[in-house]
Homo-oligomer: A and B are copies of this chain.
Amino acid sequence: VKPVDLENLDPIFKPKNMAVIGVSLKNPLFPGTIIYNKNLHEYPVNVYAVNERGGKIEGNPVYSKLEDIPAELDLAVLIIKAKYVPAALRNCGEAGVKCCIVVSGGFAEMGANGKKLEDELIEISNQYSLPFMGPNCIGIHSNYVDTFILPSERLATPFPGNVAVVSQSGGVLIDQILSKFYERQIGVAAAASIGNKALINEITLLNYFDKISEVDTIVFYNEGFKQNAGKAFIQLAQTSKKDIILLKGGKSKFGAQAAKSHTAAIATNFNLISSSFKQAGIIEAITEVELVTFTKAISFGLSGIPNGNIAILSISGGHAVLAADLCAYYKLNLVKLTDEQRQILKDNLNPSAAEIASFDNPIDLTGSVIDKDIEDCLELLLSFDSIEGIVILLVPYVPTITMQIGRRLSNIVRNSTIKKPVVAYLPWLAIYGIIIKGLELGKSIPVAHTVEEAIQMMHSLYLKGLKNKKKN
């Protein structure tokens, strides 16, 4: 038997027709019923409910046999007791279903007997050339379909966008990644919880998303690779055309123990794997917050800054101090400006600000500026060759700064012939929404919620720059 072909996963992420095998006719909070109703009412996919007893759910037919469904099925979601899964999977193969997601738990994560059952699934999959995701996963989300076994109204559904997410943990995927992406308006093309990753794993999905034009940035949460999979993943990452961001769970002694009982992940020498990631151009996030800020900056398509040479442009002295304190830790270098450059900056500032501003880097224009001062300063900094990237620290309560400052700075960046990454700090509060929207127009300047997050964004561009540095 030839191993199943895992190249084309479109039937999983962009299905036209889908069956949910295992719905409850009575309990609307039964996971299969949640998936059925959610897709019926909220997603473009045509969805069919399957339960051997037949009947109806809220007036819609429940099919007792897969063969009775009047459509060619791209995808079947299996959410039945583990012991019934092999027969159902075989049934999907017979019926010509193109891909499956096995949500059910009770496989390798439960010990030797479960492992045997999981191996049986792989055998069936090869026999029918039927790729499946899982088992023991919560499924996938895309613009076409959502198989997360949880009610939509309890989830923060992400905005559509150019990021793909692959997570070993369903909880971390939904709550730690998608909720936080929603909060910072990071757009998602597809998200997958791969569970026990019997067949479809990080490698399969990196390979798939690498070829999908809708995806520019691929984000992973991983608690450990199976035998040889880590090496293969790193090799594939090296040749990938997309930006790859990864957060590794279970790095510490306590964490590795927890990962072992969670996903049976094998403890790895973290320093070793971390340096392999870097060599492969993988942008590694160390914390959950870094994962979000890195993804925001990288998904804006900002270019890398291989030498970490930056300028900080502030209108508050204290913010400049806080930002400067973070530079060494995040491997960023505050470029020393020449006397001539400092003079040019000063000459372009309004007289009352020029008198009290500081033109050391970090540059503090003070609260005496108007919009035009910040625009001019940004334009000049873009033109200074020694500077690779610019962090703007924008406190929005100075009365002489207008609500248009965001759009005005965004215009400078988009209209400039000099392409350098610019990121901004501004508190993500509802009252500053107009400025945030202005800055982020056309994906020009990503906005960070804390000074540290702004510096983290630049750090991610430094890590991105290292990859291109190696390639050149």
Mark A residues whose CB is within 8 Å of B.
Answer: 29, 34, 105, 110, 150-151, 153-156, 167-176, 179-180, 182-183, 221, 223, 249-255, 257-259, 261-263, 287-289, 315-328, 334, 356, 358, 360, 362, 364, 367, 395-400, 427, 429, 431, 450-452
Contact = CB atoms under 8 A, between A and B. Distances in A.
B399 A174 contact: no
A318 to B, nearest CB: 3
A358 B324 contact: no
A425 to B, nearest CB: 9
B254 A328 contact: yes
A317 B427 contact: no
Given A156-B429, A261-B360, A360-B258, A250 B321 contact: yes
Contact of A322 (B172, B316, B321): B172
A328 B176 contact: no
Contacts of A289: 289, 450, 452
A98 B92 CA distance: 85
A253 B364 CA distance: 17
Counting every copy of the chain, the complex holds 2
A397 B154 contact: yes
Nearest to A148: B397
A362 B289 CA distance: 21
A54 to B, nearest CB: 25
Contact of A249 (B172, B259, B322): B322
B169 A316 contact: yes
Contacts of A315: 171
6 contacts: A221-B318, A255-B322, A258-B323, A258-B360, A261-B317, A262-B364
A334 to B, nearest CB: 5
Given A334-B254, A399-B151, A179 B324 contact: no
A358 B109 CA distance: 12
B183 A429 contact: yes
A155 to B, nearest CB: 5
Contacts of A358: 261-262
Given A105-B356, A288-B450, A450-B289, A321 B399 contact: no
B325 A251 contact: yes
A35 B322 CA distance: 28
A307 to B, nearest CB: 16
A193 to B, nearest CB: 10
A265 to B, nearest CB: 8
A229 to B, nearest CB: 18
Given A176-B451, A261-B358, A318-B249, A154 B427 contact: no
Given A154-B396, A171-B318, A288-B322, 7 more contacts: A155-B397, A167-B318, A175-B427, A180-B450, A252-B325, A254-B327, A257-B360
B325 A427 contact: no
Interface centre among A325, A360, A398 (most CB of B within 10 A): A325
A263 B196 CA distance: 56
Contacts of A249: 318, 321-322, 325
Given A287-B452, A288-B322, A262 B317 contact: yes
Contacts of A327: 252, 254
Contact of A176 (B180, B223, B252, B322): B322
A289 B326 CA distance: 13
Contact of A320 (B258, B317, B395, B400): B258
A153 B151 CA distance: 38
User: Closest 5 CB pairs between A and B?
Assistant: A169-B318, A171-B316, A262-B317, A255-B325, A172-B318
